[in-house]
Amino acid sequence: MPRAILTVNIAWNSNQWKCPNINDFYNRNNYGFQFVRTVGFGYEWWNFDDVPNGNYYWDNVKQINTTKLPHNPDNWYYGYFENKEKLPQNFINKHPYQPNNLNNGGIIVFISRNIYDEKFYFVGLYYDAFFLHDGSRSYYICDDIDNLCDCLLYAIVKNMQTNNTDNPMFNQYNNCPNNPNHKIIRNIIGKKELSFVLDNPVPITPGNINIEGFGQAPFSYGLDRNPRLLVDLLCKALISNTHSLILVNKITKILSTYDPYNNVFRQS
Q: Are strands 120-131 and 264-265 parallel, antiparallel or unpaired?
A: unpaired
Residues 240-262 have a mean pLDDT of 97
The pLDDT of residue 135: 53
In a domain, 244, yes or no: no
First to last CA, the chain: 9
In a domain, 12, yes or no: yes
163 neighbors 55 (Cβ within 8 angstroms): no
Q: What are phi and psi of 64, to 5 degrees?
A: -115, 120
Can you give the pTM of this predicted structure? 0.84
In a domain, 143, yes or no: yes
- Pick from 110, 107, 106: nearest CA to 47: 110
For residue 1, count CB atoms less than 10 angstroms from its CB and return exposed for 0-12, middle for 13-18, buried for 19 or more. exposed
Number of domains in the chain: 1
pLDDT in tens, 161-173: 444 444 433 344 3
Helix (H, G, I), strand (E, B) or coil at 204: coil
Identity of the amino acid at 23:
N
Identity of the amino acid at 152:
L
Q: Is the pLDDT of residue 72 over 90?
A: no
Q: Which residues contact 79 (CB under 8 A, 6 or more apart)?
A: 17, 44, 46, 47, 48, 126, 186, 187, 188, 189, 190
In a domain, 124, yes or no: yes
224 neighbors 5 (Cβ within 8 angstroms): yes
Long-range residue pairs from 67-76, CB within 8 A, at least 24 positions apart, any chain: 69/99, 70/99, 70/100, 71/99, 71/100, 71/102, 75/191, 75/192, 75/193, 76/189, 76/190, 76/191, 76/192
Helix (H, G, I), strand (E, B) or coil at 110: strand
Domain that holds residue 160: 5-226
In a domain, 242, yes or no: no
Distance, CA of 157 to chain centre: 24
Q: Which helix (H) or strand (E) holds 37?
A: helix 34-39
In a domain, 240, yes or no: no
In a domain, 114, yes or no: yes
The pLDDT of residue 39: 72
Cross-strand partners of 112: 121
Give the whole-angstrom CA distance, residue 28 versus residue 113: 13
In a domain, 247, yes or no: no
Torsion of CA 21, 26, 31, 36, to 10 degrees: 70
- Pick from 13, 15, 17, 16: nearest CA to 28: 13
Q: Is the pLDDT of residue 206 over 80?
A: yes
Residue 57: pLDDT band (50, 70, 90) is: very low
| Higher pLDDT pick, 56 / 47 | 47
